């Protein structure tokens, strides 16, 4: 065992030295240098990109990590566009070839009609037939016709939001994403059981859609957005058309949570969470958070979102709720997630009607 001489201990006692402080400093400097070298060599993994949504200087900006690639949309990448065949001289129309049972696009040349059926089948993940070929039942044809009318309605009467005239628009794939039931669709909440009705029946529930016509705890997109808030917000606001404007400056201290204004306020929180998740944005995308109630301090996106809410109400009431009678069960309905699927512009603004302008023609 090594024994140090007594003079060493005497010298150390007479000349104390702080080695901890310099050691920490050297370690900190070394670590910082190593991190800087990694950033230079491999780029900053936590670099952000900012989207200004309101006036400068008040923090109204949406920030996202570049590593998450906020513009990437896997659905847009996997979308298949079907090229329209050129019409042959003397070629019959679909109506001439298939008779009066054609439910839509009867004036289209037969070859284009056949290709559109092929495209629609791919877009919805199940065979689509636009006429009675002896193998499809009347209910299926009625649903197909209803879907076509809804698509054309969205591209014409709601062109101010869907922008078909500006090279965007919607087709079957916008909602269906290659699946028979759109992955972002929803059903009414209903009650858990006969003993849980009213307000208790719609809170503290993780309600999702399993794409097979029933509710289950399986989907990424829940109607309560993974909170204890009400699960019937989209039903009340985007189907029934209830007013979302519940904010005022009156005190609620003396009122109980059972007051309808409290209930609608909680539903509004659910709807706002839903819209934020559907577009992958925050509150400041539409609002100035110092005054949510003041419509004079909102961003232009607020008007676009308000228009989208009215569009959802209209399309649900006009097409998807009445479809329940045809199906004999509740029909899936649309909300913001149905089309957007976590990007601001569905499918990054891809032209969905370029090859098939009939999808954006007025309903006769």
Classify burial at 137, counting beta carbons within 10 Å of its beta carbon; exposed 0-12, middle 13-18, buried 19 or more: exposed
Classify burial at 32, counting beta carbons within 10 Å of its beta carbon; exposed 0-12, middle 13-18, buried 19 or more: exposed
Contact yes or no for 73/341 (Cβ under 8 A): yes
Token pair, residue 159, equals: 């062109």
- Would you state the pLDDT for residue 347? 93
Closest-CA residue to 143 (of 120, 122, 159): 120
- Would you state the pLDDT for residue 214? 40
Token pair, residue 342, equals: 């976590």
- Would you state the pLDDT for residue 6? 73
To the question of domain 74-180 being in CATH 1.10.40.30, the answer is no
pLDDT in tens, 253-295: 666 555 667 778 888 989 999 999 899 888 889 988 888 878 8
To the question of domain 184-340 being in CATH 1.10.468.10, the answer is yes
Detail the residues annotated as belonging to a binding site: 161, 172, 175-176, 272, 283, 286-287, 336, 339-340
Residue-by-residue pLDDT tens, the chain, 364 positions: 556 677 666 766 776 666 566 667 767 877 877 777 766 666 676 777 777 777 777 777 777 776 666 667 888 888 999 999 998 899 999 999 999 899 999 999 999 999 999 999 999 999 999 999 999 999 999 999 999 999 999 999 999 999 999 999 999 999 999 999 998 888 888 766 555 666 667 777 777 654 444 443 334 566 776 778 888 899 999 999 998 876 666 776 666 555 667 778 888 989 999 999 899 888 889 988 888 878 888 888 999 999 999 999 999 999 999 999 988 888 999 999 999 998 999 999 999 999 999 999 987 7
Burial 194-228 (b: 16+ CB within 10 A, else e): eeeeeeebbbebbbbbebeeebeeebebbbbbeee
Contact yes or no for 84/113 (Cβ under 8 A): no
* Other beta carbons within 10 Å of 73: 19
User: Matching CATH topology for 74-180 and 184-340?
Assistant: yes
Contact yes or no for 161/155 (Cβ under 8 A): no
Give dist(CA 218, CA 228) in Å, integer.
Answer: 17
Contact yes or no for 149/298 (Cβ under 8 A): no
- Per domain, the residue ranges of the chain are 74-180, 184-340
pLDDT in tens, 64-111: 776 666 667 888 888 999 999 998 899 999 999 999 899 999 999 999
* Contact partners, residue 217, CB within 8 Å, separation at least 6: 206, 208
Give dist(CA 178, CA 76) in Å, integer.
Answer: 11
- Would you state the pLDDT for residue 257? 55
- Would you state the pLDDT for residue 209? 56
Closest-CA residue to 62 (of 284, 361, 225, 278): 284
- Give CA 7 to chain center in angstroms: 77
Detail the residues annotated as belonging to a binding site for heme: 161, 172, 175-176, 272, 283, 286-287, 336, 339-340
């Amino acid at each position: 065992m090594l024994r140090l001489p007594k003079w060493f201990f005497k010298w150390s006692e007479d000349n104390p030295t702080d080695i901890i402080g310099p050691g920490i400093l050297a370690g900190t400097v070394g670590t910082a240098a190593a991190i800087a070298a990694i950033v230079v060599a491999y780029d900053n993994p936590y670099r952000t990109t900012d989207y200004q949504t309101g006036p400068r200087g008040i923090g109204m900006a949406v920030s996202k990590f570049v590593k998450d690639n906020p513009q990437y949309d896997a659905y847009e990448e996997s979308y298949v566009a079907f090229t329209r065949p050129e019409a042959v001289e003397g070629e019959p129309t679909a109506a001439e070839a298939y008779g009066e049972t054609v439910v839509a696009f009867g004036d289209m040349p037969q070859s284009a009609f056949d290709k559109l059926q092929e495209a629609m089948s791919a877009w919805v993940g199940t065979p689509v037939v636009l006429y009675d070929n002896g193998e499809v039942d009347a209910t299926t044809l009625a649903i197909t016709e209803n879907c076509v009318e809804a698509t054309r309605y969205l591209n014409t009467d709601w062109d101010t939001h869907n922008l078909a005239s500006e090279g965007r628009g919607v087709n079957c794939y916008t909602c269906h994403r290659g699946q028979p039931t759109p992955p972002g669709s929803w059903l009414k909440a209903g009650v858990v059981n006969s003993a849980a009705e009213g307000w208790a029946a719609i809170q503290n529930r993780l309600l999702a859609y399993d794409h097979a016509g029933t509710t289950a705890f399986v989907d990424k997109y829940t109607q309560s957005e993974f909170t204890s808030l009400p699960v019937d917000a989209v039903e009340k606001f985007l189907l029934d058309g209830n007013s979302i404007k519940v904010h005022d400056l009156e005190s609620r201290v003396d009122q109980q949570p059972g007051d309808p204004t409290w209930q609608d306020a909680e539903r509004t929180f659910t709807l706002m969470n839903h819209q934020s998740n559907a577009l992958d944005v925050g509150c400041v995308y539409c609002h100035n958070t110092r005054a949510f109630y003041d419509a004079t301090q909102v961003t232009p996106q607020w008007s676009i979102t308000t228009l989208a809410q009215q569009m959802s109400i209209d399309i649900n009431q006009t097409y998807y709720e009445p479809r329940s009678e045809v199906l004999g069960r509740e029909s899936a309905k649309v909300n913001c997630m149905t089309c957007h699927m976590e990007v601001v512009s569905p499918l990054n603004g891809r032209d969905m009607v370029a090859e098939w302008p009939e999808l954006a023609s007025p309903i006769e």
